[in-house]
């Protein structure tokens, strides 16, 4: 089933709104890391390494994936 152009626009607007809210929260809580400003990109943040490890462990446990280590 194909998504209509109107639905795609709505989803894009919703994603943009969520991104702006998250960027604002990260700035207010002081968890964003260099480089700044964080708005307009995927930001680095305190706990990023732990979050990546948790995601890797989740994917491995859910899908049996083997991911390359750094």
What's the domain range around 45? 5-63
Q: Which pLDDT tens digit goes with each residue over 8-24?
A: 898 899 999 999 999 99
Residue 40 has pLDDT above 80, yes or no: yes
**Cα torsion through 65, 54, 12, 33, rounded to 10:** -130
Mean pLDDT of 35-55: 93
Token pair listed for 26: 């990260």
Q: What is the pLDDT of residue 1?
A: 64
User: Mean pLDDT across the chain, nearest whole number?
Assistant: 88
| Angle formed at CA 25 by CA 48 and CA 50, multiple of 5 degrees | 15
Q: Answer yes or no: is 69 within a domain.
A: no
In the chain, the number of structural domains is 1
How much is the pTM?
Answer: 0.64
Q: What is the pLDDT of residue 24?
A: 95
Q: Answer yes or no: is 12 within a domain.
A: yes
């Amino acid at each position: 089933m194909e998504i209509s152009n109107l639905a795609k626009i709505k989803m894009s607007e919703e994603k943009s709104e969520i991104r702006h809210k998250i960027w604002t929260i990260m700035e207010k809580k002081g968890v964003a890391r260099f480089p700044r400003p964080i708005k307009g990109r995927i930001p680095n943040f305190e706990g990023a390494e732990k979050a990546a490890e948790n995601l890797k462990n989740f994917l491995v446990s859910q899908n049996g994936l083997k991911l390359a280590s750094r």
